[in-house]
Each structure stands twice: as structure tokens, then as C-alpha cells.
Amino acid sequence: MGENGINRKGGEGRMWEVFTQKKTGDPHEHAGNVHAHDAEMALQHARDVYSRRNEAVSIWVVPSDQITASSPDDAGPFFDPAEDKIFRHPQFYKVPHVSKKRR
């Protein structure tokens, strides 16, 4: 029996979310999921499924049930605090305009 409760013997294993980095310097992006019984196997599956053509230089896998996500139902109130803080943007500020001199 696996940890997410739905696995049976000889089943597909635990679900892992896969994040891939296209090239060094880029952020890791969500690619999809794979099923595997342990982390090592999940990494190998992730490589075979999501990087058959060098789409990744680095892969993260994490058990799907270990991710906590914000809920879309309260997306409004949850992200509200940022809404009225226009002073966090450069457009909020006025500074004297200085024209560049050519040397």
C-alpha cells in the first residue's frame, strides 16, 4: 500500500510533481507528474518523460501530496493585501526629468 491510499500491489506507485530547468540560470518550471515508488525512480521517469530532447539540465521531483497550494476560491481575499499597495511600483513616484547630455 502506498502513501496516498489509492495504490494497490503492483499499482502505479506514488505521484510526484516534476519541475525542470531548461538551462542554467533559468528557474525550475512545473512540467507535469510521474508515478514511481521512490525518489530515484521518480527522477529517472521524469528524465524519460519530460526530457527526451535535452529539454532540461536539472530536474526536481517532489511527492505530490507534499505540496500545499493556495485555493482559487479565496484567491481574491488571499491576494488582496497586494492590491492597494500602488506605492510598491515605480509609477507611483514622480522625479524631475533630466535630459541626458551628449559628450
Partner 1 sequence: MDEQQKLQEFQDRIDAGEKIEPKDWMPERFRKQLVRMMSQHAHSEIIGMLPEGNWITRAPSLRRKLALLAKVQDEAGHGLYLYSGAETLGVSRDEMIDDLLSGKAKYSNIFNYPTQTWADIGVIGWLVDGAAIVNQTMLAKSSFGPYARANLRICKEESFHRKQGHEIIATMMKGTPAQRKMVQDAVNRWWWPTLMMFGPPDDNSPNSNELIRWKVKTKTNDELRQSFIDRTVEEAHDMGIEIPDPDLRYNEETKHWEIGEINFDELYRVVTGNGPMNKKRMAARRKAHEEGRWVREAAEAYAEKQKLKEKKAS
Residue 26 contacts partner 1 per CB under 8 A? no
Amino acid identity at 24: T
Instruction: Output 57 or 75, the one with its CB closest to partner 1.
Output: 75
For CA atoms 48, 50, 56, 61, the dihedral sign is negative
Instruction: Output 10 or 81, the one with its CB closest to partner 1.
Output: 10
Residue 43 contacts partner 1 per CB under 8 A? no
How far is the CA of 66 from the CAs of 17, 44, 62, 92, 96, in angstroms?
10, 20, 7, 39, 51
Which of 23, 26, 37, 57 touches partner 1 (CB under 8 A)?
37
Kindly state the smallest distance separating residue 25's Cβ from partner 1, in Å. Answer: 22
Residues listed for the chain = 103
Residues that bind partner 1 (CB under 8 A): 2, 6-13, 15, 32-38, 41, 48-49, 52-53, 69, 71-73
